[in-house]
């Protein structure tokens, strides 16, 4: 974006601070005005990355990577305290701007509220990272129906709406990156985490289809597919069976670095970890029934 001229601000400031018209021409006032104008121009013209679910885990690490790459960072999550801590860390380490949006993306119309808020601030998003999401474990008929609805709203509905809203601007500028955080779970049917696996299958297929539609537009879509990662996911999903099946796992930083690099290389599907890639490859040679049974044993 070119330099933004703040028409009338000079004289408006003069009125506010009570300067006579001749005061507008003073060297000191000019310096103050130009410093303020330059700061606003930098804020508006900066390249911005928006990361949902930025308060912890992979989202937090992706925010740090974006800042290290020189992007201003829009931090989006429910926990404001965590976002404030992350913003301070970014401010201390990097010479970029941060902007916090505390919002529950599972709520109705929340994506539109977020988009309108950033438009009002003059923030133009060049990188959209749809990372927010959570899992739900247990026998399907016994899981909380309200919590299940929230999971679908966050993992699917908010992700889809945010993509549409920010994609329009990217297309007009003929440049942009969109990372959809899917999962290795998206490649398989997942008994005892049935709806969660289905939401990640949606994210994976949505990202792949959209990537093909956007070929040649300058906008690139990447589906990041982590495997087991050391985050709060297991506690939120109450997925004790899955936790016991996979001891260890990758760190959030390892997954985030892998995903960020893959997105910048314009890779469409990025599966983290050799073991995960091997598991997906070998699944092509077994029956769907065997895959269903094996995943059910892991999740139970």
For 24-82, where are the E strands, in sequence order?
48-52, 72-77
* Distance, CA of 247 to CA of 31 (rounded, Å): 60
Q: How many H-runs (helices) and E-runs (strands) does the chain carry? A: 13, 9
Candidates 196, 197, 202, 206; catalytic one: 196
pLDDT of residue 88: 97
Candidates 97, 177, 197, 200; catalytic one: 200
* Distance, CA of 247 to CA of 230 (rounded, Å): 10
Cα distances from 140 to residues 136, 144, 194, 195, 294, in angstroms, run: 9, 9, 7, 8, 18
pLDDT of residue 219: 98
Contacts with 232 (C-beta within 8 Å, 6 or more apart), sequence order: 56, 57
99: its two tokens = 């902007």
pLDDT of residue 21: 45
Phi-psi region of 210 (alpha: psi -120 to 50; beta: other; left: phi over 0): alpha
- Return contacts of 156-161, CB within 8 angstroms, 24+ apart: 156/199, 156/202, 156/203, 157/111, 158/52, 158/105, 158/106, 158/110, 158/111, 158/130, 158/132, 159/130, 159/132, 159/133, 159/203, 159/206, 160/206, 161/111, 161/112
What is the pTM assigned to this prediction? 0.81
Is the CB of residue 295 less than 8 Å from the CB of residue 245? no
Helix 252-264, helix 57-68: angle, nearest 10: 50
Is the CB of residue 130 less than 8 Å from the CB of residue 52? yes
pLDDT of residue 212: 98
Contacts with 241 (C-beta within 8 Å, 6 or more apart), sequence order: 137, 192, 298, 299, 300
How far does the chain reach from its first CA to its final CA, in angstroms?
Answer: 52
Q: Residue 177 catalytic?
A: no
Q: Residue 196 catalytic?
A: yes
Q: Which run of H or E residues covers position 224?
A: strand 219-225
* Distance, CA of 113 to CA of 176 (rounded, Å): 21
* Distance, CA of 213 to CA of 228 (rounded, Å): 30
Question: Phi, psi (5° rounding) for residue 181?
Answer: -85, 105
Q: Which residue ranges of the chain lie beneath pLDDT 50? A: 1-24, 31-33, 35, 37-39, 41-42, 237, 239, 243, 245
pLDDT of residue 240: 56
Buried b (16+ CB within 10 A) or exposed e, 237-267: bebebbbeeeeebbebbbbbbbbbebbeeeb
pLDDT of residue 296: 84
pLDDT of residue 24: 46
Ordered by where they begin, the domains of the chain are: 9-45 (no CATH), 47-299 (3.40.50.720)
Is the CB of residue 98 less than 8 Å from the CB of residue 73? yes
């Amino acid at each position: 974006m070119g330099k933004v001229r703040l028409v009338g601000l000079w004289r408006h400031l003069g009125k506010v601070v009570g300067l006579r018209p001749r005061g507008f021409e003073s060297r000191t006032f000019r310096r103050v005005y130009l410093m303020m104008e330059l700061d606003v121009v930098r804020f508006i013209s900066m390249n911005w990355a928006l990361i949902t679910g930025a308060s912890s885990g992979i989202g937090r690490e992706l925010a740090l990577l974006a800042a290290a790459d020189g992007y201003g960072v829009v931090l989006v999550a429910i926990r404001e305290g965590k976002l404030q801590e992350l913003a301070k860390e970014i401010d201390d380490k990097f010479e970029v701007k941060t902007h916090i949006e505390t919002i529950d993306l599972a709520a109705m119309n929340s994506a539109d509220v977020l988009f309108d808020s950033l438009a009002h601030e003059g923030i133009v998003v060049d990188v959209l990272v749809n990372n927010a999401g959570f899992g739900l474990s247990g026998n399907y008929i016994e899981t909380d129906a309200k919590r299940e609805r929230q999971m679908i709203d966050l993992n699917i509905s908010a992700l889809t709406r945010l993509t549409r809203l920010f994609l329009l601007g990217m297309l007009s500028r003929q440049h942009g990156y969109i990372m959809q955080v899917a999962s290795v779970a998206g490649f398989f049917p997942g008994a005892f985490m049935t709806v969660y696996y289905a939401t990640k299958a949606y994210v994976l297929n949505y990202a792949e289809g959209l990537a093909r539609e956007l070929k040649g537009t300058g906008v690139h879509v990447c589906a990041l597919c982590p495997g087991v990662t050391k985050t709060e996911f297991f506690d939120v999903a109450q997925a004790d069976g899955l936790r016991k099946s996979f001891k260890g796992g990758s760190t959030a930083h390892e997954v985030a670095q892998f995903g960020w690099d893959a997105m910048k290389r314009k890779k469409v599907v990025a599966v983290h970890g050799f073991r995960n890639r091997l598991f997906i490859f070998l699944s092509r040679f077994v029956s769907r029934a065997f895959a269903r049974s094996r995943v059910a044993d892991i999740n139970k």
